[in-house]
Copies of this chain bind each other. A is one copy, B any other.
């Protein structure tokens, strides 16, 4: 019976009095939930945030903290970059892949400068400094960095490349926890009540199917939390739910690391589905293969077990990871040469194993067990083109193209070989850009909103992902969802017990 399901909606009982009540109830206190709470409070609503963990922060607090912003932010301008809404829009549409949502991208682009200002108003500081090398984040407290495929083939032809990854002023990977401290402090200052160790279990529906609250589990008992205006689901994605991953994104089962916090278990998605919402984009995910830094490894080539190249190796590490994981269990190798040997003193994340070596390409090819004149031919053609200054086959940027000279080494970059393949999900509830959760027919579920990885938001494709898209999406559309909930009409609800 579906009634036994954790996410199955509760019906409001006649005369039932909730334990807690607020205008807006937010589920989850990561970047999306905190932003929704702040925006709802700014719009005059009383707000309760229910957080399953013992402290707010969510997956954002574990992340490097990059935020994807553009259209000429003060940092971009100070660092000498000019960006336009047209270029940012075009880039994001192409990065979204075939599942692009033009309306959502339009809102995100047109609101980007205001979003930057909003983050400043929450206490964020962005240092006016650009980090120019290929990296997964700025290594110091620099703000601005290329975090996607902006300068790469398939994108740069259509939208002038410009860096849009912005990190708040913090060292290395500390940007996410700093952002969450600021957002939580801002929410608290606005009177938002953040209740921790409160695990939302299901929506509460009235007789008309409207969402009028949430049941949460706390200290062994169910707490009913009434929402006079709306519930905003911001409980994250489902990468920690192996059952959901096996059904919806089975290709993500081949990974080395689940990139998320333990509560990214799809509970918010399931609550929304139980209340009548639809899901979408459930098959998509982000896969990282951080083969750089060192940036010099971008000069390497990547080949499959036939010795064939398959991608422009200057692409973003997420595009590389997706391409390799989608071809699992095909083996893949990074081919480096004498010029790279020193870089192994500080190898990429997770450690790369040298699988084979050779003074000549023929020796390397033989040691890898490849058919004669396959990898050797690939390297000869690559080198011939490199001497001419380009890569006509895969159009790797000329900055990273130089002939590979022996001795050579091959590092295997297949999941299971030692290379690092962290993954997270990009599917969730179907929602309008303004947050309303929709059913499969496209009708809004009254009283239900969602943002962040709980919903299908801005990032739609592992192949086109850029770092900063998730936190950018969570904060930006979290704000919109919080506003929408705060502006929803009050429903007739019993007073708090």
Which positions in A face B, CB cutoff 8 Å?
1-8, 97-99, 208-209, 243-244, 246-248, 250-251, 253, 269-270, 273-274, 276, 278-284, 306, 308-309, 371, 373-374, 377, 381, 385, 392-394, 430, 439-446
Please indicate the chain B residues that have their CB under 8 angstroms from the CB of A274 in the complex: 276, 439-441
24 A-B residue pairs with Cβ-Cβ distance under 8 Å, sorted by A, are A2-B209, A2-B441, A2-B444, A2-B445, A5-B440, A5-B441, A97-B250, A98-B246, A99-B250, A244-B440, A247-B280, A274-B439, A274-B440, A280-B282, A282-B282, A306-B309, A306-B394, A371-B381, A371-B385, A371-B393, A373-B377, A374-B381, A377-B377, A377-B381
Give the shortest distance, in Å, between A251 (CB) and chain B (any CB). Answer: 6
Query: Given A248-B280, A393-B371, do A1 and B443 touch, yes or no (CB 8 Å)?
Result: yes
Return the contact of A393 from the options B269, B279, B374, B446 (Cβ within 8 A): B374
Q: Which residues of B are found within 8 Å of A247, using beta-carbon distances?
A: 99, 280-281, 430
Closest Cβ of chain B: how far from A155's Cβ, in Å? 14
State how many angstroms separate the Cβ of A454 from the closest Cβ of chain B.
Answer: 14
Across-interface contacts of A7 in B (CB, < 8 A)? 439-441
Q: Is the CB of B279 within 8 A of A279?
A: yes
A443 and B381 contact, CB distance less than 8 A: no
Residue pair B273, A440 in contact (C-beta under 8 Å) = yes
Q: Decide: A441 and B371 in contact? CB cutoff 8 A.
A: no
Give the chain B neighbours of A393 by CB distance below 8 A. Answer: 306, 371, 374
B residues in contact with A440, CB < 8 Å:
5, 7, 244, 269-270, 273-274
Q: Indicate whether A1 sits within 8 Å of B446 (C-beta atoms), given known contacts A279-B279, A280-B248, A441-B7.
A: yes
Q: In the assembled complex, which residues on chain B have CB atoms less than 8 Å from the CB atom of A306?
A: 309, 393-394
Q: Flag if A439 contacts B2 (CB, 8 Å).
A: yes
Closest CB in chain B relative to A199 CB, distance in Å: 15
Enumerate chain B residues within 8 angstroms of A392, measured Cβ to Cβ: 371
Within the complex, what minimum Cβ distance (angstroms) separates A204 from chain B? 15
> CA of A413 to CA of B276 in the docked complex: distance in angstroms?
42
Residue among B8, B209, B279 making CB contact with A441, cutoff 8 Å: B8
Instruction: Tell me which residues across on chain B come within 8 A of A443, comparing CB atoms.
Output: 1-2, 4-5, 8
Q: Which residues of B contact A97 (CB under 8 A)?
A: 250
Distance A299 CA – B430 CA, assembled complex (angstroms): 46
B208 touches A5 (CB 8 A): no
Closest to A437 in B: B2
Residue on B nearest A254 in the bound complex, by CB: B98
